[in-house]
Amino acid sequence: MNVAFFLIPKSDLVYIKINSTMRQALEKMEYHRYSAVPLVDEKGRYAGTLTEGDLLWKLKNTPSLDFSNTHKLRLYEVRLHRFNEPVKIDAEIENLFSRAIEQNFVPVIDDNGIFIGIVRRREIIEYCAKGLLLKQRSA
């Protein structure tokens, strides 16, 4: 089945622009209770996935940085420890199984590399569970 069927469009998501400040990211992630969010560059392309861990490591490893001055630091200055490889919109859901083991969501891009949404691990698991139930019923 095509990934497009499971896509949560960018308009329905929380994502952060890579030129946002660390403070903006912290506040947005706290408000929505997310531990990871997609990053998008100035042209709308997927630029990576920002995690709580990335922000914590930046705080730990930057002696002059504390919460009071996180508004001065841009996210492109934060080292990302994981890059969730995106898939194109025409990919098949079966191609996402191995990625769903390691990450909460899989970024989806169009043919021009523009970030258009995600497929969450939840939808992938539900798809697999339905397949298993169908096999059990037909057995």
Output the CATH code of domain 3-138: 3.10.580.10
Model confidence over 78-119: pLDDT tens digits?
Answer: 999 988 889 999 998 888 888 888 888 999 999 999 999 999
Q: Using CA atoms, how far apart are residues 9 and 122, in angstroms rounded to an integer?
A: 15
Q: Using CA atoms, how far apart are residues 96 and 75, in angstroms rounded to an integer?
A: 27
DSSP letter for each residue of 39-67 = EE-TTSBEEEEEEHHHHHHHHHH-TT--G
Model confidence over 124-133: pLDDT tens digits?
Answer: 888 888 877 7
Residue among 120, 127, 130 nearest 99 (CA): 120
Model confidence over 56-75: pLDDT tens digits?
Answer: 999 999 999 999 999 999 99
| Tokens linked to 78 | 């934060």
